[in-house]
Each structure stands twice: as structure tokens, then as C-alpha cells.
Amino acid sequence: MSDPVEAREPAADGPFDVVTGAFSYSGAAITRRLLRAGRRVRTLTGHPARAPSATTVDVRPLDFSDVAGLARSLEGATTLYNTYWVRFPRGRVTHEVAVERSAALFEAARSAGVERIVHISITNPSASSPYSYYRGKAAVEEALRAVGTPAAVLRPGILFGGDGVLVNNIAWLLRRLPVFAVGGDGSYRIRPIHIDDLARLCLEAGAGRDDVVLDAVGPERPTFLELVREIKAAVASSSVILKMPAAAVPVLSAGLGLALRDVLLTRQEYGAMADGLADTDGPSTGQVVLSNWIADNAAELGRRYAHEVKRHFR
């Protein structure tokens, strides 16, 4: 289990870093490591009321309508660790809007004199991708290059560990449903990385000075079908794994999402995974072995449902 964000009292003065969403998933993991290193941390968050009462993190609003205010909040920061993005469009906030907001944040950091930006992107971003998520991620990387601030871009695919969603919710479904649907033959590979490995890579990148782009990927590359079978065995599920036509998976996922009042897997997420975009051929940069982690955490894995919409919108 991960330690709480307020795990250590930071130094009373000295350099500080800014993390967007220090009480979210990847932002919290980065913040824990910064605090352990004795750094002061300021967060820009869209949910300032969610900050723990005992936190040592300095909380400021992530208000994209006040770019000057963002710049003031960034003044004096050594490094900006940016985790801001939207997993799926909701209301007026689309991937295109998220690109515009990210560009405004980078410009605010430049004008505030931030020395370095560490940005979390995605594996295989592309301006020509059929998926707006991946096009958007490519556009954000281009916006970061345009501001000219020394930067590191980390590209994870699928995250696990802590209170992560995907692996946990696969286990949750396998514990409860008589049938688990896998799209196509399930042979598409994924390259998950543990959230603490990603945080470690972020801090290592923050300590550098060169511009760098790095795939943040773990040591294992299971197919999706292999992953589901491994989780099934670990949680002793009696669910039947059923291969379904690819077109049926987003429909089934949407139906379950309506029942749970959540978004399980979007059409774009499934399509990108089936196209191999959550996989890379490069060397491992993560250390935690997914299969070992599943075995070590089997007793608790999937006991509670990880509700994405509640986390971010309620």
C-alpha cells in the first residue's frame, strides 16, 4: 500500500516544486516522493476542498480562466510536475479543451520562470492518430516544446498499483460477474508500469537538465487475455472468460457503466489498446513486476470498485 500524501514534514523553507493534482492518482505518488526527499510542494488542483486537513502541501486553485493567477502560483517554483489531462470528454471539457488548458499552463510556467517541466503523456502519441486522446497528447507535447522551458516527457501506457482503476476493476468484475468479455482474441499487448515507478522516473527526470522523452513502461508485456487470466487465477474467480467481437466490447462496457454510473472503458480506450498503442518495444524503465504485484495483492484486489467519475467529478 502507498503512504498518504502527508507522509513527511517538509523543510520550512528552500526550493519548492509544483504538482498538478497532488491529491489525485499520479500526482499523489509524485508528491509522496517529493515530500520524502524533503522538498516543499505546492499543488494546483481543481478540487482544493479535497485537500486533507493535515497536509503540508500548499494548495492553490488550478483555474484556467485566470492564467495570470496560475503564473503567480508558479512563481519561485523549481519544477512543475504536470499530470493534468482528461481521460474522456465530459460536458464542455473535451480533449481539445484539455490541450488548450495545458498550453496555457505551460505558458504560465514559462512566464513565472519555472526552471523545468516534467510532463506525463502517453505511449505512442500521434498527431495523425484516429483517437482524439492520442492526438491531444501529441498536441500537448508540441505545446510544451513550443514554450522552450527545459522539459522531460514521460510516456506511460497503463498504470497499476495504489488505488489504480484498470487492474482493480478487472478483478472487481471477475469477482462478481459470471462472464467476463474480452474483445477479439485478446492478443493485443500492454506494458503496465507501477505508479511508484512512474513517480520515481518523474523525480529522476526533474533532477536532469536536458530535454528528454522517455517511455515509462514496466518489465512485463502480457497480452490483455493473459492479464485477465492472471487476475482471474489470483482472485480465484469462477467467471467464464468469453471472447467477443471487438464491436461488442464498448457497447457492453457502456451498459455496465450506466448501471455503475461510471465510465469503465471508452470506445477510444478499447480501440487504442486493441491497436497496440498501450505497448512499446523499448527497454523497461519500471522495476515492479506486474505478475508479482497481482499475486502479492490478490487478497484485496477488486474488493472495492474504483469509481472514476466520483473521483473526478463528484
Report pLDDT digits (tens) over 12-58. Answer: 566 899 999 999 999 999 999 999 999 999 999 988 888 888 899 99
pLDDT computed for residue 219 by the predictor? 97
Map grid coordinates 494548495 to a residue: 59
* Per-residue confidence (pLDDT) for residue 47, from 0 to 100: 85
Q: What is the pLDDT of residue 310?
A: 77
Tell me which H or E stretch contains 152. Answer: strand 151-156
Total-model pTM: 0.93
Residue 225, judged by CB atoms within 10 A of its CB (0-12, 13-18, 19+), counts as middle
**What was the pLDDT predicted at 312?**
63
Residue 146 CA, distance from chain mean position? 23
Q: What pLDDT, on a 0 to 100 scale, did the predictor assign at position 91?
A: 84
Residues of the chain with pLDDT under 70: 1-14, 312-314
How far apart (Å, rounded) are the C-alpha atoms in residues 182 and 276?
15
* Helix or strand run (H / E) with residue 59: strand 58-61
pLDDT of the residue at 76:
96
Domains of the chain (ranges; CATH) run 16-160+192-216 (3.40.50.720), 166-189+220-280+287-313 (3.90.25.10)
Output the pLDDT for position 10.
Answer: 45
